[in-house]
Structures are given as C-alpha cells and as structure tokens.
Structure 1
Amino acid sequence: MKGIQLREFKPTFFFLTKFVGIYLVLNLLYGFYITAYYPKPDPVTHIVSENSAALLRFIGLDVVTSDHPTRPTTALVYDGKSPVTVYEGCNGINVMIVFLAFTVAFGPIGKKMLYFLLLGFACIYLINLIRIILLFWVSRDLPHYMYFTHKYFFTAIIYVMVLILWIGWVRLSLSLNSKR
C-alpha cells in the first residue's frame, strides 16, 4: 500500500480549518463583547434571565431577576432566595457559536443556510430557557442533584440537540449538492 494521498483529506482539512477559524474569531469577538460589560452581566444574559423568569411567572411562581452589581450574573429570585444565578456562560451564545461554526464550515452558504441557522438559534435559545427553568426547580426542590444536572445532564441534552441539528444540516446540504 502506497502512502496516503493528502488530496484525499483536503475536504476534511478545509472543513476543520474553516470550523476552527470561525469558532476562534467568533469566540474572540464574544470575549470582547462580554468584557465590555464587565463586571455587570451582558444584555443577552440579562434577557435570557428575564425570559426564564417570565416563563416561571407564567406557570405561577413569583420570580424576579436581579443583576449582581459587581459580578457578571443575574439571579432568579423567588421567595427572597436565589436558587439559580445565570452567568454569561449560561446564556446559550457559546453553543450558538459552535452550531454556527459547524454549519457555515460545512456549507453551502445561501438562503437555506440562513433559515437553518435561525431555526437552530431559536431551538438552542428555547432549550436553554427550559434548561434554566428546570435548573431553577432542581436547585429549589432537589438541591443535592444540582451539580450533576447542571454539569452533565442538561449540558448533554443541549449538545445532543445541536448534534441532531448538525445531522439535519449535513443531510440537507448533501441533498442540495446532489441536485446541482
């Protein structure tokens, strides 16, 4: 068997280069965005917290939000306590960056991609709100499960959903390419 031809892996290297490049640039920009608001929470974290509190109020809980004055967090306050504090890492933006980097790196770029990205962002945002609401409940009623559910269970659920979206994008992209 002769040596592996590098040409065989050119599409893979190109995909990985685009993915890593897009991911690094967007994370760098996101880091600048977060830093601009430090030590207070950024607007996206605040909005995600407000939306989570609004959904909790919708189901009958008297929940309000409170931005911490010297930390980049927003607390969900219920009955004088804050069972959950939302940090910038909990607002879903990093997951959206990973989702966007993969989708754009895989291509093809066009109107269908834009629609798919918007659908994916909406799904990620919604699942993240549900995650925060369920973490609120776990923290309030089952605090001994909080570490596991926050660190592993809900993280896995979000990334499985992103994986399902990616599979959908790959299938859609391949079908678009085969029609050309």
Structure 2
Amino acid sequence: MLTVIYQLYLKSYEGNSVDGITSNVSVLSEKLLQVSDENAKTVKDERGEYYLVIYNNNYVGRIIEGCNAVSVIILFVSFIVAFSTTIKPTLLYVLAGSVLIYVLNILRIGFIIMILNKFPEQEHIIHGVVFPLIIYGIVFLLWFLWIYKFYKYASEETK
C-alpha cells in the first residue's frame, strides 16, 4: 500500500521535475557538504530530472529519486507494521526509525560524495556495496531491536 501511494506521489511530478522529497534531500546534502567545502552545491540538471553535485569545484555525482531513502523507509515501516501490537509504540518507533533512516541517508550521500571526490575509480564499491550494506544493516538492526525489545509476543516467549 505504501509503495502504491509513493508511486502516485511520484506520478504527480512527471514531466521533467524532481519530486519534493528528492529536492529536500539535495538541499540538505548540499548544506552538509558545505561544512567541509563552502562552495559545494547541488544544481538541478537542465532537464530537471535530478541534481548534479559539485564538490571541490568538481562534478562528483548526482542525486536521483532513488537516493531519497523513501524505498528503504517503506521497507522498514512495512516490517514494523507487520509485527505491530499496539498503535502508540508502533507509531513512535516508525516515526523515530524513519527520521533516523532519513538523517543517515543524508550523511550517507555526504560521505559518498566526499569519498568519490578523492577516489572516483572506487564508485562501484563505495556506492554499490559499502553504503548499501551500512544502510540496510541499520534497518536490519532496527528490525531486530523492534522484535526483541518492543514486539509483545517475542518478549513473552523469552520470559
């Protein structure tokens, strides 16, 4: 259901326009990168489909819709809801976990850009292996924490 809602949201941005969540991720990533390079910037490409990332006066990469972590958040939320018991703890955990994933994603983008600026030949390893392992590893740990600390039925079996 969340995926369908997200796809409908994306369809509203069809026609050479970056969706609002990806735009926000780009702005926040730019602010983070400016901590180490005041000239760092993200610029919408001429067709308006993604953001180019300029760091240390070099084009280092681009931020596309897939970089906004929404699909990871949907995966996280779906698991938590599937193993929910009461509404308040579930909503609080979903909210806290989603914010954590969103913030970690901004940090992930910043670190990827900084590392790729120095080691562009390592793009596949850095972008395709290391950082997905980290972000999905954190989601797995959040799931694990939910099951063993907050999920009522698992807690009762371990007593």
> TM-score of the superposition, structure 1-length normalised?
0.79
Tell me the percent identity.
28
Selected match of 1:123 from 100, 124, 128: 100
Deviates more, 1:57-66 or 1:149-158: 57-66
* In 1, Cα distance between equivalents of 2:123 and 2:145: 32
Q: Note if 1:43 corresponds to 2:12.
A: no
Displacement after TM superposition at 1:85 (Å): 0.5
Partner of 1:3: none
Specify every segment of 5 or more residues in structure 2 that has no aligned partner in the other structure, as ranges. Answer: none
* In 2, Cα distance between equivalents of 1:100 and 1:146: 29
Q: Please give the per-residue CA displacement for 1:106-145, whole angstroms capped at 9, x wherever unaligned.
A: 1114111111111101110121111101110122110011
- Larger CA Rg, structure 1 vs 2: 1
Equivalent positions of 1:133-152 (< 5 A) are 133-152=110-129
Partner of 1:22: none
Partner of 1:112: 89
- Which letter maps to 1:162? V
Partner of 1:33: 9
Aligned partners of 2:112 and 2:126 also within 8 Å: yes
Specify every segment of 5 or more residues in structure 1 that has no aligned partner in the other structure, as ranges. Answer: 1-24
Deviates more, 1:149-158 or 1:66-75: 66-75
CA 1:73–1:177 in structure 2 vs 1: closer, same or farther (change >3 Å)? Answer: same
Residues matched between the structures, number: 154
Q: RMSD between aligned alpha carbons? A: 1.8
Equivalent positions of 1:6-155 (< 5 A) are 25-38=1-14, 39-155=16-132
> TM-score of the superposition, structure 2-length normalised?
0.88
SS at match of 2:12: helix
SS at match of 2:38: coil
Displacement after TM superposition at 1:177 (Å): 6.5
SS at match of 2:60: strand
Which of structure 1's runs of 4+ aligned residues deviate more than 4 A?
Answer: none
